[in-house]
Amino acid sequence: MDTDRVPEHPDVRSVTVQQVLEALVDPVRRSIITQLSGSPADIACGAFDLSVSKSTATHHFRVLREAGLIRQYYVGTSRMNSLRRDEFDDRFPGLLDAVVSADHATPAQHRP
Amino acid sequence: MDTDRVPEHPDVRSVTVQQVLEALVDPVRRSIITQLSGSPADIACGAFDLSVSKSTATHHFRVLREAGLIRQYYVGTSRMNSLRRDEFDDRFPGLLDAVVSADHATPAQHRP
DNA sequence: ACGAAAGTACGATGAGTGTCAAACTTTGAT
DNA sequence: ATCAAAGTTTGACACTCATCGTACTTTCGT
């Protein structure tokens, strides 16, 4: 079986503001969202420009998925990521846009 | 001297998204912002409906002030708080509104 | 002058979490 | 069959931060 290969996605209506802000407060996660937001196509986990190890990246993707911000699906060995923009915007109007454009103005600063 | 009685307020332009999100991720601080946002008048620290001790509240007000979200000034022994809405909206368009209305839909859940 | 009220400052503490390395799993290519 | 590529899982560790109590400061009444 590869049922485990289909990660669980929450109903966006069951996601809380608390969860979303906890997800977006991390610079690495916000960078993932920004890159997704600026890309016309979905992006594989390994194709992101991140400054952390693979296992740490996995952690960040899970947090974003559980916050209802991204959808993940497998293509071969690659895990693809897409922004759940419409659903999310419906639940939290204006929030994603505000954070993304704010982040665009002041890029994420990695710790030294 | 009571120079120390005038707390330092940052120029909102020097505030980073990171700082703002770190400020807004805490439920108590978000509650402060929501209460201020729904009030026509400024509110003294002690007049807020908060579920933490006085010293903890002081900490939260400082974080909000340093994130450019509120302005504080003394009236007698009371420290008044006002939302720096216009300045903040100019720096981070839509962010405050999005968070406040999202928080209004899903009120801050206090830990048990 | 004295005391109460409103906050602030200072440690100390406990829980959370971002980080990594190492071992493992699944898929695709040779 | 074998091997490499792509992620995941599992501990473990370090560091941050929300919280509180106590002591202190400033202001306002009486």
Residue A112 has pLDDT above 80, yes or no: no
For chain A, the first-to-last Cα distance in angstroms comes to 43
pLDDT at A110 over 50: no
At A104 the pLDDT is 85
Query: Is the predicted pLDDT of residue A106 greater than 80, yes or no?
Result: no
- List CB contacts of B16: < 8 A, sequence separation 6 or more: A106, A109
Cα angle A77, A81, A87 (rounded to 5 degrees) comes to 145
Nearest to A72 by CA among A112, A104, A32, A34: A32
Q: Is B73 on the interface with A (CB under 8 A)?
A: no
Q: Does the distance separating the beta carbons of B17 and A102 come in below 8 Å?
A: yes
Cβ within 8 Å, pair A106-B24: no
Round to whole Å and give the CA distance between B44 and B42. 7
With respect to residue B82, please indicate whether it lies within any of the assigned structural domains: yes
A112 part of a folded domain:
no
In a domain, B38, yes or no: yes
Q: State how many domains chain A has.
A: 1
pLDDT exceeds 60 at position A43: yes
For residue A109, being part of any structural domain is answered with no
Q: Are B109 and B94 in contact (CB under 8 A)?
A: no
B29: CATH: 1.10.10.10
Domain boundaries, position B78: 3-101
Residue B57 has pLDDT above 90, yes or no: yes
Domain assignment present for residue A111? The answer is no
Whether the pLDDT of residue A27 is over 60: the answer is yes
Interface of B with A in 12-31 (CB under 8 A): 16-18, 20-22, 24-25, 27, 30
Confidence of residue A4 (pLDDT cuts 50, 70, 90): low
Q: Please report whether residue B106 resides in a domain.
A: no
Percent of chain A past pLDDT 70, that is, above it, reads: 90
Cα torsion A109, A107, A9, A75: sign = negative
Report if residue A110 sits inside a domain: no
